Amino acid sequence: MKDRSLLMIPGPIEFAPEVLRAMGMATTSHVAPNFIEVFATALDRLREVFLAPNGQPFVVAGSGTLAMDMAAANLVEPGDKALVVNTGVFGDRFGEILERYGAQVTHARAPRPGSVPEPGDVEAMLEDGHFRVMTVTQVDTSTGVAADVKGLAAMGREHDVLVVVDGVCSVAGEELRQDAWGVDLALTASQKAIGVPPGLALLVAGPRAMEAFHSRSAPVVNYYADWSQWLPIMEAYEAREPSYFGTPPVNLIWALNTSLGLILGEGLEARFERHRQVSRAVKAAVAALGMTQVPVSGKIAANTLTAPRFPDGVDGSLLAHVKRAGVILAGGLHPEIKAEYFRIGHMGVVSGADVLATVGALEQGLAGVGYEFQPGAGLTAAQEVFCEA
């Protein structure tokens, strides 16, 4: 059999053939006129995808963690107070990064994995805290929980904090309206819903974030992450002028431009809706197969991934069975519940057909580990979602 497993994890994801072809193109110079044009187009398309018409995009070689690092390095000065709205592992990570740059970090923690902090508690912390920055993980990939970015950003703005959104598992999949919602900086990585192989850190900084950066009193202590290095480069590309600080990953940026073109061609509203529908189908299937999920309610469950809990008598060996049926799923990530659940990523170019293949493989895997259920129950539930449309 041809090796063509379906990669249904929360990043890296399946990529469009056009995007992969762009990765295989003959690499040009980073100052070749045709590459400068592609880079410039990609930067402008990022503003459209982030819905941040006045934002300053940054495209830098690295992963999502570098994007987080860059946000903290440029926006925080030693002694600043930072509030982390923490819904899982990536909130912990943001807290550590902020501390590394000298911030005094307070966490507004979800009471348990799968929940969100009470909005009233966040509000009270903002009231008392005199924070400079608040971070929110839009979708925490370790729990499958989606935070209310719109509500939290409004709260943050009211208390005059810089609102930073870790959108690594959400941008271009989950609804995020950076400008309209008052998000000062949003960031992601190429390999998730943006749909480009791993290797790019992507940030869009709004006017308030750039202003905060320009009025820093202390220099940025990280040489590579310093926007003083990167801002002139981004501006030069948009002005169609050659420039150099660190060699850009030419093929990845070519692929990014291709993927952003596909995303805008689909249309953001249609894309958000497709992610909602796919998510409903996967979650209906999981429920029909007798599994609960890590998010404690459907209202706070992400549309880019699903985090089912293993049913009684089933453990992580399920995933090997599912893989044999042709679909790769991810194990648990949150340390407190790691062995109790698994994760199904469904973002980017994911289709209804991919969902049916995934649920079919999941059923075969469940049968393989001796779980008792009605074969086809998950498929029927997913199919009902697609057929009601």
Ligand X SMILES: *Cc1c(COP(=O)(O)O)cnc(C)c1O
The residue ranges that bind ligand X (CB under 6 A) are: 11, 63-65, 90, 137, 139-141, 166, 168-169, 189
Nearest to 176 by CA among 154, 141, 148, 142: 148
Cα distance between residue 69 and residue 161, in whole Å: 18
Helices (H), 159-297: 178-181, 207-214, 227-238, 250-266, 268-288
Q: How far is the CB of 60 from ligand X (least distance, A)?
A: 12
Six-digit token string for 201: 């850190």
**Closest CB to ligand X among 31 and 61?**
61
Measured between alpha carbons, how far is 64 from 48 in angstroms, rounded to an integer? 20
Alpha carbon distance 245, 229 (integer Å): 7
The residue at minimum Cβ distance from ligand X is: 64
Distance from the first to the final alpha carbon of the chain: 34
With respect to ligand X, which residue has the nearer C-beta, 193 or 322?
Answer: 193
Q: Which is nearer to ligand X, 189 or 250 (CB)?
A: 189
Contact 81, 227 (CB under 8 A): no
Q: How far is the CB of 300 from ligand X (least distance, A)?
A: 15
Q: Give me the least distance between CB of 213 and ligand X, in Å please.
A: 21
Q: Which residues is 328 bridged to in the sheet?
A: 7
CB of 62 to ligand X, least distance (A): 8
Using CA atoms, how far apart are residues 348 and 123, in angstroms rounded to an integer? Answer: 33
Mapping DSSP onto H, E and C, the string for 128-187 reads HHCCCEEEEECEECCCCEECCHHHHHHHHHHCCCEEEEECCCCCCCCCCCHHHHCCCEEE
Q: Which is nearer to ligand X, 191 or 383 (CB)?
A: 191
The least CB distance from residue 356 to ligand X, in Å, is 25
SS3 316: coil
Tokens of 370: 């001796």
Task: Using the minimum distance from each CB to ligand X, give the nearer residue, 164 or 366.
Answer: 164
Closer to ligand X by Cβ: residue 86 or 383: 86
Residue 141 Cβ, how far from ligand X at the closest point, in Å?
3
- Give the closest residue to 133 by CA, choosing from 169, 97, 175: 97
Task: Provide long-range contacts, Cβ within 8 A and 24+ apart, for 308-315.
Answer: 308/341, 308/342, 308/344, 309/340, 309/341, 310/340, 310/341, 310/342, 311/366, 311/371, 313/370, 313/371, 314/366, 314/369, 314/371, 315/339, 315/369
Polymer length of the chain: 389
Tell the smallest beta-carbon distance from residue 90 to ligand X (Å): 4
Residue type, 268: L
Q: Which is nearer to ligand X, 57 or 167 (CB)?
A: 167
- For the CB of residue 377, give the shortest distance to ligand X in the complex, in Å: 30
Choice between 306 and 383, CB closer to ligand X: 306
In the complex, what is the shortest distance from the CB of residue 174 to ligand X, in angstroms, rounded to a whole number?
Answer: 11
Residue number, 73 or 381, with CB nearest to ligand X: 73
> Minimum distance between the CB of residue 89 and ligand X, rounded to whole angstroms?
8
The nearer residue to ligand X, 117 or 365, going by C-beta atoms, is 117
CA dist., res. 93 & res. 45, Å (int): 29
Cis omega (within 30 of 0) on the bond before 12? yes
